[in-house]
Structure formats: C-alpha cells, structure tokens
Structure 1
Amino acid sequence: MNSIIYRITGLMFLAVAITVFLLIYLANAQMTDLFQEYVTIQQMEVHHSIMTHMSPDFQEQTGMMGISEQNFLTSVHQSLIWVGIAILIVGLAASYALARSITTPLRKLSAAALEIERGNFAQKVPINSKDEVGSLALIFNRMAETLDSNNKLRQQFLANVAHELRTPLAVIQGHLEGMIDGIIEPTPKKLSSLHEEAVRLSRLIKDLKDLSLAEVRQLSLEVRDVNVNHTLEKTVYMLKPLADEKKITVKQNLMVGLPAITADADRISQIFYNLITNAIRYTSVGGCVTVSTELIQYAEQDWIKIGVADNGPGINEKDLPFIFDHFYRGDKSRDRKSGGSGLGLAIVKQLTEIHGGKVQVESVMGKGSLFCVLLPAKLMKKP
C-alpha cells in the first residue's frame, strides 16, 4: 500500500464516497420530510370542510401516508442508493485511471534512473503529456543525454591521456634500454633529446593537473591587479625567438590607458602564451600575428577584449564547436610535436572562465583565425 497509485486512488475514492453518502442521506431526509408535508397539505385541503365533524381517531390519522405513498418513497430511496453505488464504481474507475496516468510515467522514470545508476546512460523515457510529469520526463532525458555525453568524453579523455603519456615514455624507455645494452651510444645530443622528451612529459602532466583543477574550480589563484598590456608585451617578447624562427611578424595594437583586471597574473600570462604560441604554430613562414586590446561595454559592464589574430590556413567550420575540447586537433595529420598536446586551448577556456571571462573564436578558411578573450575590467585605483 506504499505505492502512490493506491494512495491517489484511495484519496479520490474516499472523497467521492463521502460526497455520495452525504448526497443520499440529505436527499432521503429532505424527500421524506417534504413528501410528508405535501401529503398533509393535500389531505387538509380535501377534508377541510368536514374535519370539524370527524372523530378524534380519524383526526389522528390525518397527515399519515398511505401504502402507495410509502411504496413511492421506498422506490425513490432505492433508486438513490443504486445511483450512489454506480457513482462510486465510476469514481473508483476514474480515480484508478487518473492515478495510473500519473504513476505510469513515474515508474518509467524510476526504471530509467535505475539503469543510469548501473552505468547505462543511454536512457530515454517517452513524453506523452505537457504537464508537470511531461516536463520532468523532458528534464530527465536532457540529463541522461548530458551524462551519456560526459561519460563518452571522459572515456575519450582517458584514452587520449594514455596515448599522450605512452609516446614520450616509450621513447625514453627505448633509448635508455638501448644505452644500457650498449646498442645506443649516450652522446650529448641523444641525452639532450631524452631530456626534451622528459620536459615535454612533465609539461603535459602539469597541463593535465591544471586543467582538471580548473574544471572543478579548485585551481588556486593569487589574485591582484594585473596590467593586461604589460603582460601581453612580456609574453610577446618571450615568444619572439619562436616567431623569428619562422620569420613571423607579431604586431601589437594595444589600447592606451586600459583599466586593470583583478586576476592571477601567472594564469593570465598562461592564457596569452597558449593563444600566441598556437597562432605562431599554425601561421605559415613569413606570416603575421596581431595582438590587440580594447575596452568594450557588454551587459552593462566594462570588459577588456584581448584578440590574437593570424593569417594562417584557418579552422574548418565543422571543427569550431570542438576547438576547445581536450586533445582536439582539427588537422589529424599533425603529430604531438608540430601540433602540440591538444590541451592548450582547453586550458585557455578553463582559465578564462575561472576568472569570470569568456573566450570566442572566429575563422575563415584560407584567411586565418581570430581568438578573443573577454575579461571583466577593474578600474585602476587612483594614487
């Protein structure tokens, strides 16, 4: 009796039963009194002229119903009782049907939730109504789709992590085993190559750690006033050798008198480093990368807009929705050395959002790409 279907049916049937019993009781009581009054009035009108000459026994019988009147009342009472029973039966059936219309979708939701608990995330329940239960089913289906998508992303993420870690480890292990067996001579050049692989592996592990902490908003931040233009200039200067190697010109269009932002300077520098490195990497030899800043108004708030544009090959339109995903590379032919680990833009997105900002991308095939970072501005304190 703990099922909601029995409780709804019982409550509705109880309400119908009480209503029917009250109606029958009141109808019977009123009908008896009114019919008794009617019979009395009729007898008084018919025998009014002779009532004064009647005997006392006859006067006592005046106003009493005869057999035909009593039979009529009895038949009416029985009819009311049968009508009441019919209403109770119909009410019980209607109550049960209404309860089932509510509980059947809930049972399906419960069964689907149980499957999700077991790890089967590809669950959907039919939506047969537009009421609260239908709305709950719609929300449940969306939740199931999100869980299924997140589960697939998690599995893909773990597979990508295993692949990215296995490659440098295999290189280091193979060379070290060759040196131990005397097959490979441990020259300074080869040792330097192994050191580069170890540094790359260490950087990958650090990026994975920062990304995982940023996604759950557990990344520690040392917040202070940050001059965006100054930070960009330092980043561009640090990456100048990388740009010079490909004869790429890095232009700076920085707005003068730009307000400060309240942020972690190292994390903001990491955002700029990843964006500019990515632009240089995908720009052809002799190309151009433009770094710009400006103050804009958006949603009744001041924002600093940082743009990093290149004139590289651009990003395919079908790749744009996934460009900030973990380990995603639009050009599948690029290896880890030429195309990076695939975590740079994912880190940019997470670090930007953890600072309350937004990141956007625009790209045209054959003309280049523009990455924009919007960070909430804070007015400089007056001296």
Structure 2
Amino acid sequence: MRDLLRGRFARRLALAFAALGIGAAALTAVLVNAAFGARFDDYLAKQQQVRQQQLVALFTAEYTQDDAWRPESLNELAPTVTMTGSEAELRGPAGQHVWSLADAKVDAATLAMHRDMMGIGDLGPPRELPITVGGERVGTLDVRVPQGQIPAVDRDFRSDVNQLLVAGGLTAGLVALAVGLYTARRATAPIAELTRAAGDLAAGQRDRRVTTIPDNEIGQLATTFNTMADRVVKEDELRRLFASDVAHELRTPLAILRSELEAVQDGIREPTPKVITSLHDETLRLGRLIADLETLASADAAAFTLEREPLSLTTLVADTADGLTGRFADAGITLRTELDDVRVDGDAIRLRQIVTNQLTNALKFVPQGGTVTLTLRQEDGWAELQVADTGPGIPAEDLPRIFDRFFRSRTARADGSGIGLAVVAELAAAHGGTITADSTPGHGTTFTTRLPAGVRAHPRNPAQPPRSAP
C-alpha cells in the first residue's frame, strides 16, 4: 500500500511537470501566433491603404487634366480600376452621382474574376475618400478595395513556426515528464522511507530509524522523527524502570504488612503498640507513594487547571517553610530563609507544592548537621526562588535527567518515590517558569525556580533578621 501511494504521488508530480512543460509551450504558441496575426493584419491594412491612395491619385489626375468631371474620360479609367479588383463610385461635391463602374459596363462578376485571377482576396469594407484639387474638395470616391492576401513565403514561415512550436511543446512535455519522474522519485524516496519508519514504529519496532536524511525540509522532518523515536525509546525505558521501582516500593511495605498481620493471626506475635506503630508506618509509606503518583498525574493538567490570582510569593514561601520547621528540626538540619517582597500571579496550592517538594527533597538527602538555605528575590521581571543545601550533591551523569518524569537516581533513598522534582518541573512550566539545578558532588546542590513576577519587588526591612530554624 505504501509503495502504491508513493507511486501515485510520483506519477502526479511527474504529470504536473509534463503539464507545466506542455502548458508553457502552448502559451508560447498562442503568443507567437498572436504576434504574427497582428503583424499580418498590419500588412494587409497597409496594402488596402496603398490601393486606396492609388485610386484617389488616379481620379485626382483625371480631374486636374480637364478641371471637371467628364464621364467619357472617366470610362477610360474603368480598365485600370477593374485590374485592381476594386469597386468604385464617384460622387460630386454635393453628393450627386457622377460615375461608377456600372456606367462603364463593368459588372460585379468581372471584378470577382479579376480578383481570383490575381489572388488578391475578397473586398474589404467600404470607404469614403475625399478628392481635393488646389485645397478644394471636388468629389468623393466610394471604394471597396480587396483585402489582400498574405504572401506565400509568409504563410510558409508561419506554418513552419507553428510546427516547430508543436514539436517543441511535445519535446518539452517529454523532457518535463522525465525530469518530473526523476525528481518525484528523489523527492518521494525519503518521504516513503519516513512513512515506512513511522508505520514500523507504530507497530512496535522501537529500533526503527530513518537513514535517508536529505539536506532540506524533509531531512529536518526525518531528523525530528529520529529524535522523537529516541525519545519514545527513552520514555519506554524510564517507564519500565519506574514501574519496577514502584513495584519494589509497594512490595516492601506490603510484605511487611502481610508478614506482621499473619504473625498476629497465627498468635506468633502480640498486637502490641510497637507492632501497631510499625504497621501504621508502613501504611503511611504506601500513602506517600500513592500521593506522589496522584500528584504527578495531576501535574499533567496543571496548565489547564491553574486557579491564578495575584498573591504574595513571600508570604506563601514563608508559611510553607514554617510548616516544615519541625521536620527540619527533628532531622537536625538548619533551615534558613532570606526572602524579599515578591508578588506573582499564580495558583497558591500549586506554588506551595513547588516549595514543599523542593524542601522535602532536601530533607531526604541533606545529612544531620547540614543546612538548607531558602532565598527569594526578584530580578528583571522574574521571581527567583533558590533552595541551596549542603548535601552530598548529585552525580554528574544524573544531573541532566533529574527532572525527567520517570527518572530516579540509583543513589536515592528508599523512602522516596523519585518523582517530586518532575512534579516541580511540570508545575513551574505550567506557570510559565523554569527550574534548573546546579550541583557539585560533595559540595551540595542549588535548585533555582524562576517564575514571572507580578509587581516590582520591595526588599524586606534590612533591620529584620532572616528567619531560620535551628
């Protein structure tokens, strides 16, 4: 089917080239014939004008000879007028009839015979030609002179040109057809391969790639397709890894719950408060994992469900940090905040989630005695939130992928799902912002979230000390 579609497209393209060549030749033929027709019409009109001037001169000379119109003298002009194949009638100054070929006994049949013998064509339209002598109009000559005929050499030339144009049009059509077929095959080859590759990829051949990449727009499309195919393979791999990680995360607490419950059922263990607390911790662990998965799913639609409103990002960040102060204190981590007055237009719940995810992510990796510094300021119309920690840092090979939706570093702790930063990236993008990470192994990590600021920031009172949690 693909080869059939390719053949149809190639044939249509080739036929379009052929039609273009033939059409160009036909247009040339029309223009050349129009030019020749105009030239020949001018030629015939000049012939008629010459014959008319000759007849006027003939009758003018006759009047000048006698200073009057004499019918017997005019009859002597009849053979000359007849030889030209023209019809002529002479009228006086007052419009009265003076003379005609009929007065000289020359009929229309005789004139037609002369025109046929001389091959000078049919009569043209009637004309009224004034006859003047000494500046005075002495008569009017009503004439119809032959239209004339195109010389044989001109007719042959025009015929030869038309034949050349026909031959040229056919040749141009054949050449255009050949060029069209060649061009169509070259043009459709990468398209056909791209179509086959897309079909194979859709059929499950994840290793299918386009190998023919011309240096044009089709080549750009092929390159984009290969990039997309690579991304699909990468996404499939990340999904498999993510599914494996999730299964592992679910299996561990479920196994603990099952074993503990079976031990209680069998009477091996007593449902002591310690056992109940352990079971409760495992259910909380399952709940956190499920909550993270729900958060990631809802982040997909964040751009369409944001409930934006003007708000103080400073207050939101401060309140979020206050809510986590106890957890930082329990972990032995110092939380410092340095907040300028910044306002944005955003969804308060989603923005709080951005801050929470970054702070809880720091809680997982910063060791006891470490420090997390939360900084907020406005620069060049952007609200810039930085979360800097003194943790172990992120390996260089993992840093470019930490915001991938299904990526989880192998060095991550077992109590996390590994999708918190992906959620932050989705929510930041939904607000028209970005998040980046800068890290050096052994020297901590700094996450920078940039969001469009609403109004110009005003720095907090310098006398007010930064808020911190020991």
Query: TM-score with structure 1 length normalisation?
Result: 0.75
1:1-383 alignment to 2 at 5 Å?
A: 3-19=8-24, 88-217=173-302, 220-255=305-340, 258-297=341-380, 301=381, 303-326=382-405, 328-330=407-409, 332-337=410-415, 340-379=416-455
Kindly tell me: are residues 139 and 326 of structure 1, through their superposed partners in 2, closer, same or farther at Cα, counting changes over 3 Å?
Answer: closer
CA contact (8 A) 1:250 1:289 kept: yes
Where does residue 462 of structure 2 map in the other structure?
A: none
CA contact (8 A) 1:327 1:341 kept: no
Kindly tell me: are residues 170 and 222 of structure 1, through their superposed partners in 2, closer, same or farther at Cα, counting changes over 3 Å?
Answer: farther
After TM superposition, give the deviation of residue 84 of structure 1 in Å.
6.6
After TM superposition, give the deviation of residue 23 of structure 1 in Å.
7.0
After TM superposition, give the deviation of residue 188 of structure 1 in Å.
1.2
Where does residue 47 of structure 1 map in the other structure?
A: none
Partner Cα distance (1:275, 1:18) in 2: 69
What is the letter of the counterpart of residue 421 of structure 2?
L
Partner Cα distance (2:166, 2:411) in 1: 85
After TM superposition, give the deviation of residue 9 of structure 1 in Å.
1.6
What is the letter of the counterpart of residue 366 of structure 2?
T
Q: For residue 266 of structure 1, give the secondary structure of its aligned residue in structure 2.
A: helix
Partner Cα distance (1:18, 1:295) in 2: 66
Partner Cα distance (2:452, 2:204) in 1: 40
After TM superposition, give the deviation of residue 362 of structure 1 in Å.
1.2
Where does residue 70 of structure 1 map in the other structure?
A: none
Kindly tell me: are residues 291 and 158 of structure 1, through their superposed partners in 2, closer, same or farther at Cα, counting changes over 3 Å?
Answer: same
What is the letter of the counterpart of residue 264 of structure 1?
D
CA contact (8 A) 1:210 1:219 kept: no
CA contact (8 A) 1:213 1:219 kept: no
Partner Cα distance (2:23, 2:429) in 1: 61
Kindly tell me: are residues 200 and 220 of structure 1, through their superposed partners in 2, closer, same or farther at Cα, counting changes over 3 Å?
Answer: farther
Question: Of Structure 1 and Structure 2, which has the larger fraction of its residues in helix?
Answer: 1
What is the letter of the counterpart of residue 122 of structure 1?
D
Partner Cα distance (1:127, 1:274) in 2: 45
Partner Cα distance (2:161, 2:318) in 1: 100
Partner Cα distance (1:263, 1:148) in 2: 35
How many aligned positions are there? 350
Partner Cα distance (1:91, 1:367) in 2: 69
What is the letter of the counterpart of residue 280 of structure 1?
L
Partner Cα distance (1:167, 1:242) in 2: 24
What is the letter of the counterpart of residue 149 of structure 1?
K
Partner Cα distance (1:317, 1:114) in 2: 37
Partner Cα distance (1:141, 1:372) in 2: 32
Q: For residue 207 of structure 1, give the secondary structure of its aligned residue in structure 2.
A: helix
After TM superposition, give the deviation of residue 14 of structure 1 in Å.
3.0
Partner Cα distance (1:239, 1:376) in 2: 26
CA RMSD of aligned residues (A): 4.0
Q: Where does the alignment leave 5 or more consecutive residues of structure 2 unmatched?
A: 41-113, 120-149, 153-157, 457-470
Q: For residue 313 of structure 1, give the secondary structure of its aligned residue in structure 2.
A: coil
Q: For residue 305 of structure 1, give the secondary structure of its aligned residue in structure 2.
A: strand
Partner Cα distance (2:266, 2:10) in 1: 76
Deviations 1:198-244 (A, max 9, x none): 12211211211111121243774454443333333333333333323
Kindly tell me: are residues 22 and 310 of structure 1, through their superposed partners in 2, closer, same or farther at Cα, counting changes over 3 Å?
Answer: closer
What is the letter of the counterpart of residue 170 of structure 1?
A
Deviations 1:62-107 (A, max 9, x none): x999xxxxxxx99999998877765554333222112212222221
Question: Between Structure 1 and Structure 2, whose CA radius of gyration is higher?
Answer: 2
Kindly tell me: are residues 182 and 222 of structure 1, through their superposed partners in 2, closer, same or farther at Cα, counting changes over 3 Å?
Answer: farther
Q: For residue 200 of structure 2, give the secondary structure of its aligned residue in structure 1.
A: helix
Deviations 1:343-367 (A, max 9, x none): 2222222222222222121112222
Q: For residue 318 of structure 1, give the secondary structure of its aligned residue in structure 2.
A: coil
Deviations 1:155-193 (A, max 9, x none): 333333333222222222222222222233221111111
CA contact (8 A) 2:213 2:222 kept: no
What is the letter of the counterpart of residue 353 of structure 2?
Q
Partner Cα distance (1:315, 1:176) in 2: 39
Worse overlay, 78-87 or 258-267 = 78-87
After TM superposition, give the deviation of residue 127 of structure 1 in Å.
4.1
Kindly tell me: are residues 239 and 76 of structure 1, through their superposed partners in 2, closer, same or farther at Cα, counting changes over 3 Å?
Answer: closer
Q: For residue 314 of structure 1, give the secondary structure of its aligned residue in structure 2.
A: coil
Where does residue 68 of structure 1 map in the other structure?
A: none
What is the letter of the counterpart of residue 399 of structure 2?
L
Partner Cα distance (2:346, 2:191) in 1: 47
Partner Cα distance (2:24, 2:404) in 1: 63
What is the letter of the counterpart of residue 273 of structure 2?
P
Percentage of pairs with the same residue: 35
What is the letter of the counterpart of residue 97 of structure 1?
Y
After TM superposition, give the deviation of residue 320 of structure 1 in Å.
1.0
